[in-house]
């Protein structure tokens, strides 16, 4: 056999150089977390206090009160007795099988994550829709966020902020925010050019065009994005619990390591029940507001 050449073996970087690069970057990150960790942690403190407060609120309130509030929210959003009844049955079953506290913890963190994703995602989506350059920058970042294995960024975040709720929220938001950004962008871009021209002809300002024409017409697409965001946030619950976020993810992890299949299934189903509740309610709400607007146009 001929001696090794670049033809038979890929011309790799010298191992020593590669190690130097890896160690150099690791050390740089360590220095960064040493220098800035506490400042950044302090920055996130309000979020942490809010998360802790919200979780304590849900845990400390009597179960029937929480249930009543949830049902009231479901009904006011969907105006459907069938859906409200379904949610009530699901929550009663969750409580009956001893998963109430964990479900409350998961619900509190997912609610915050979803709200955060929407509050951050929709403006980014709007910016993306208004500028092609912005879209060219944001799209690859979204691709990275959706495909980068969570642990690659989770452990550096843990080094910076410790374990618990805040790193959990960051991980969930990073993973779950892309659909709402993408679909906000898409929805606005799909709005009929002629409708926009008509709005301009009536003398609408850019602000009026955005909020009076583009956003309402893009709403069904944006709602689809929000739905996807909720679903993805819930599917991240288990990963988040790997960095110490309490909730339904923890018993799932426990059952995986010990092969308690039924326990895993129950807790998994509780996550599914939460997901379906969030999904159906937001969809019903979107449909209802949409119908309402159609009605106004007809009138």
Partner 1 sequence: MNFTRFFFISAFFAILALPAAAAGNCGRVTIADMNWNSASLIANIDSFILAKGYGCDAELVPGDTMPTGTSMVEKGEPDIAPELWNNALKDAIDKGVAEKRLRVAGKSLSDGGEEGFWVPQYLVDKNPSLATIAGIKANAKMFEHPEDPDKSGFYTCPAGWNCQISAGNLFKALNLADDGFELVDPGSGAGLSGTIAKAFAREEPWFGYYWAPTAVLGKYKMVKVDFGTGADENEFMTCTSSAECENPKVTMYPPTLVQTVTTEGFATRAPEAYDYLVKRSFKNAQLNELLAWMEDNQADGNIAMEHFLKNYESTWTPWVSAEVAGKVKKALAGM
CB atoms closer than 10 angstroms to residue 80: 16
Using CA atoms, how far apart are residues 255 and 248, in angstroms rounded to an integer? 11
* List 17, 23, 143, 291, residue binding partner 1 (CB under 8 A): 23
User: Shortest distance, CB of residue 73 to partner 1, whole angstroms?
Assistant: 26
Scan for tokens 């109430």, then name that residue.
100
Does residue 250 belong to the site contacting partner 1 (CB under 8 A)?
yes
Nearest to 215 by CA among 195, 235, 240: 195
Does residue 163 belong to the site contacting partner 1 (CB under 8 A)?
yes
Three-state secondary-structure class, residue 172: helix
Residue nearer to partner 1 on the CB measure, 171 or 180: 171
Does residue 43 belong to the site contacting partner 1 (CB under 8 A)?
no
* List 124, 126, 233, 245, residue binding partner 1 (CB under 8 A): 245
Nearest to 12 by CA among 21, 23, 25: 21
* List 17, 28, 38, 205, residue binding partner 1 (CB under 8 A): 38
Residue nearer to partner 1 on the CB measure, 165 or 280: 165
Scan for tokens 């959706």, then name that residue.
146
CB atoms closer than 10 angstroms to residue 32: 14
* List 72, 119, 256, 272, residue binding partner 1 (CB under 8 A): 256
User: Shortest distance, CB of residue 174 to partner 1, whole angstroms?
Assistant: 17
* List 130, 134, 145, 164, residue binding partner 1 (CB under 8 A): 164
Using CA atoms, how far apart are residues 165 and 110, in angstroms rounded to an integer? 11
Nearest to 268 by CA among 105, 134, 94: 94
Does residue 262 belong to the site contacting partner 1 (CB under 8 A)?
no
User: Shortest distance, CB of residue 154 to partner 1, whole angstroms?
Assistant: 8
The tokens describing 201, both together, are 């002809």
Give residues 93-152 in contact with partner 1 (rule: CB under 8 A).
151
* List 19, 65, 72, 195, residue binding partner 1 (CB under 8 A): 19
Measured CA to CA in angstroms, residue 189 lies from 202, 217, 273 at distances of 21, 10, 34
The residues of the shown chain that bind partner 1, judged by CB under 8 A, are 15, 19, 22-23, 30, 33-34, 37-38, 48, 52, 151, 154-155, 158-165, 241-246, 249-251, 253-259
């Amino acid at each position: 056999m001929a001696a090794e050449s670049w033809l038979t073996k890929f011309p790799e970087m010298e191992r020593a150089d590669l190690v130097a690069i890896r160690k150099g970057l690791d050390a740089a990150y360590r220095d960064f977390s040493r220098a800035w960790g506490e400042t950044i942690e302090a920055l996130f403190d309000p979020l942490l206090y809010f998360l802790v407060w919200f979780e304590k609120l849900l845990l400390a309130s009597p179960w029937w009160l929480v249930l009543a509030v949830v049902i009231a929210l479901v009904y006011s959003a969907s105006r459907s007795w069938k859906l409200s009844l379904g949610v009530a049955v699901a929550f009663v079953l969750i409580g009956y099988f001893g998963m109430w506290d964990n479900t409350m913890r998961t619900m509190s963190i997912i609610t915050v994550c979803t709200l955060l994703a929407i509050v951050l995602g929709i403006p980014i989506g709007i910016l993306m829709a208004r500028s092609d350059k912005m879209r060219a920058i944001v799209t690859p970042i979204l691709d990275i966020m959706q495909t980068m294995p969570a642990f690659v960024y989770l452990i550096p975040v843990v080094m910076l902020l410790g374990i618990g709720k805040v790193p959990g929220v960051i991980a969930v938001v990073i993973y779950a925010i892309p659909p709402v950004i993408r679909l906000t962008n898409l929805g606005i871009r799909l709005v009929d050019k002629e409708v926009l021209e008509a709005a301009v002809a009536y003398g609408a300002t850019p602000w009026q065009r955005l909020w009076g024409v583009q956003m309402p017409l893009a709403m069904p697409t944006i709602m689809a994005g929000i739905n996807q965001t909720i679903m993805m946030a819930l599917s991240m619950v288990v990963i988040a619990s790997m960095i110490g976020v309490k909730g339904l993810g923890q018993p799932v992890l426990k059952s995986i390591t010990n092969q308690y299949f039924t326990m895993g299934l129950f807790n998994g189903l509780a996550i599914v029940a939460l997901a379906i509740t969030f999904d159906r309610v937001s969809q019903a709400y979107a449909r209802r507001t949409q119908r309402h607007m159609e009605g106004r146009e007809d009138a």
